[in-house]
Structure 1
């Protein structure tokens, strides 16, 4: 395994300023992730903070979640360490996608593990890695499929239907049918090439869903298979015993809801004054909470002195909602604003590992933390990675391309490669021909115009037909040139499909299945053991 590090082109967004010009946005976030002293400062803050949440109760919930197939001695050891005063956590989270979701989910778990290891060595205190599974999320269309490289340089979307008639059901409440998962995996097997690892991969993925299991549990079982030996603690935000721990903080969020909303709104205005669009789109009167009504997750809004669902069908007084938080906390759910606050309530968080989108919306939350009597943890960007399979590496060499070429104008390199080998410059040749034809028709139409307006119209119509024929001829000439270099162009297309599918980073499209099928699964463990950069993109040659 060889790794090259590169700097991707800047998008100019809030997350880029956070990563590379932190002084510009420090007032939004607080602690600079690029400075080691930030982690010491944060640890000192946590050491002075009093918390009403019992570590032993939290540890009990984590043990309950990791019972049965999620037990591992390394995980249990970390739960015991978290139980003791003075320990802290590095936490990161993601939606529960099929087969561990997009590759960046795996990279986020690796980043959590590596940052916890690094800071434990630096601070000399127990630092425990925790992965928060966003089991409350109800956007199932985002997680009900995976992509695999298909024939003819195209992506193939492989979907497992999860939603029930468009209902807003949380991922943690979706039960996977073993038979349906088995059929879906068999279809996946037919889509992937035959390799020495294929049969074992499909058998293992099938075994993990051998009995009815929730989508989040299936996700947790696979993540545990990958990272249990590294002591990664997982928790599903929809896990009922966890919701019971959250009750007291739900009460605070309800009691101080208007102040919380005002704090978020004020900081959004600060972000917008800096020239950035708001990363959060919030409804007026948003309570930053959801409520479950007949199994569906409904957004809550403030309405006078009470609360109402977004569709207006259900209404609660402030007192009734506070009672719900005390007696039925499982009926409440966090949104994008209150989830980080709830994590802070539950865990002594040294650092949160986040992706680019999360960095942007956390930029709207510092005042929300203050409103709840909290301070923000150090936000550390997750490692970004692109995997280079052996065929892609070979094609890069044959075409004389560097990894930088892949991420900065691959299409331009492709055109340049063709132009350098073409027997003539088709673009220049036909540009000249068009200019000559235009000039000829301008003169011809002008001389024919005295014959009447119909003649001018006929001349223009004739001009268009000739231009269409020129374009047709140009297309034929370009196709003839491409056919001469068909093998090389297929190599360019392979590189694009594997590294930048549909122009997106590989980590945002593919998941582990194609690479597990081709190389086995041990490369994931090797990545977790290899120190990675948090501020540069890593290109990993498998």
Structure 2
């Protein structure tokens, strides 16, 4: 991961961020003084996370500890992708990428074929899809002429030197998003890969890469999507007379329909509009017999009059909306809960918000999730 992607979390609408000037592989970042100060700013976090971070020297060590604590009993296996033995399985791919740029060629071909089917590219392959990895350093490798350069460093290798480095230290080569899926599947082959919408597309871009290296390509399945409804939100949904399906409708359309159905008067002023239009049409025809141009004048006057009625209709609608402000506030609260700042709950709300309130959260999710059910799951706290 990029550090900027994972150095913060959001809880109850507030952002908590750890700032560090360390560089290199994020997992190797040391949990030094700045992190210990950060921990003091978040005393409310669950003990699972406190213990993991306070007893670890690096970020990856802490993550392994809390992931094991949360999911170890479920059989989750944690593998260190930087292990020299595992990277040794990837030597031929590393060499092919560095010398022949085969992964780039295969990925571009597949990407072009997907684009003809209407899929937008999610990843953009480079000629070399590896970072050079060492203590405090994780930078892209580029070929300039006959030399291989490590960006933002003084490191420079000839072809023979870099090939020898692959043989002696394959762990120093870190795949980017183009080759990480292939590395994963070479280490631990899967029958299926479950991912989000963008992930499924970019895996499809890599089908030719897998075929070239004779690695089985897993079945691609969308991951589960879920929405957790608290008791408070469920009460607001109930007061509006909604059900689970109602929360997915267009809220602005619902507001307009609600006002129209519950208005004290016809806010659209249908009868008045019909009467005004009829009056101008009749008088316009009569006037036409006196002078043809008068019909156009009456038609223009009708349009102006109808616009005035539209303006009055808007004022009536706004007045009715004020009368129904309590209901609309509930709708806004529900929408903000479902989509904080316009984004789906699962992409914004940290799991700790639910885990702090319910330590059985993960067990309950396991009970309800079905990897073969591709619908949005609505999970309710009704007790």
CA distance in 2, matches of 1:508, 1:424: 42
CA distance in 1, matches of 2:15, 2:183: 34
Q: CA offsets per residue over residues 495-529 of structure 1, 9 Å max, x none?
A: 112212233221111121211233x1202112213
Q: What is the Cα deviation at residue 376 of structure 1?
A: 0.5
When residues 307 and 428 of structure 1 are mapped into structure 2, their CA distance, relative to the original with a 3 A threshold, is farther
Contact 2:56 2:62 in 1 (8 A): no
1:510 maps onto 2:365 in alignment: no
Alignment correspondent of 1:211: 55
Given the two structures, how large is their TM-score scaled by the length of structure 2? 0.78
When residues 478 and 144 of structure 1 are mapped into structure 2, their CA distance, relative to the original with a 3 A threshold, is farther
Contact 2:24 2:134 in 1 (8 A): no
Q: Which of 235, 239, 247 does residue 398 from structure 1 map onto? A: 239
When residues 204 and 340 of structure 1 are mapped into structure 2, their CA distance, relative to the original with a 3 A threshold, is closer
Alignment correspondent of 2:176: 335
When residues 327 and 224 of structure 1 are mapped into structure 2, their CA distance, relative to the original with a 3 A threshold, is same
Contact 2:259 2:317 in 1 (8 A): no
1:179 maps onto 2:36 in alignment: yes
User: Residues 163-202 of structure 1: matches in 2 within 5 Å?
Assistant: 163-164=20-21, 169-177=24-32, 179-186=36-43, 189=44, 202=46
Alignment correspondent of 2:335: 496
Q: CA offsets per residue over residues 426-478 of structure 1, 9 Å max, x none?
A: 6779xx8xx99xxxxxxxxxxxxxxxxxxxxxxxxxxxxxx9xx99x999876
1:227 maps onto 2:71 in alignment: yes
Residue segments in structure 2 that go unaligned for 5+ positions in a row? 278-306
Alignment correspondent of 2:157: 316
Q: Which of 158, 165, 168 does residue 15 from structure 2 map onto? A: 158
**3-state DSSP class of the match of 1:502?**
helix
Contact 2:141 2:148 in 1 (8 A): yes
Alignment correspondent of 1:124: none
Q: Which of 335, 353, 360 does residue 522 from structure 1 map onto? A: 360
**3-state DSSP class of the match of 1:524?**
helix
Q: What is the Cα deviation at residue 316 of structure 1?
A: 2.3
**3-state DSSP class of the match of 1:413?**
helix
Contact 1:181 1:206 in 2 (8 A): no
Contact 1:248 1:325 in 2 (8 A): no
When residues 326 and 500 of structure 1 are mapped into structure 2, their CA distance, relative to the original with a 3 A threshold, is same
1:388 maps onto 2:232 in alignment: no
Q: What is the Cα deviation at residue 289 of structure 1?
A: 0.8
Higher relative contact order, chain-length normalized (CA < 8 Å, sep 6+) = 1
1:277 maps onto 2:120 in alignment: yes
- How many residues are treated as equivalent by the alignment? 344
Residue segments in structure 1 that go unaligned for 5+ positions in a row? 1-136, 150-155, 190-200, 437-466
Q: Point out the structure with max Rg over C-alpha.
A: 2
Contact 1:381 1:534 in 2 (8 A): no
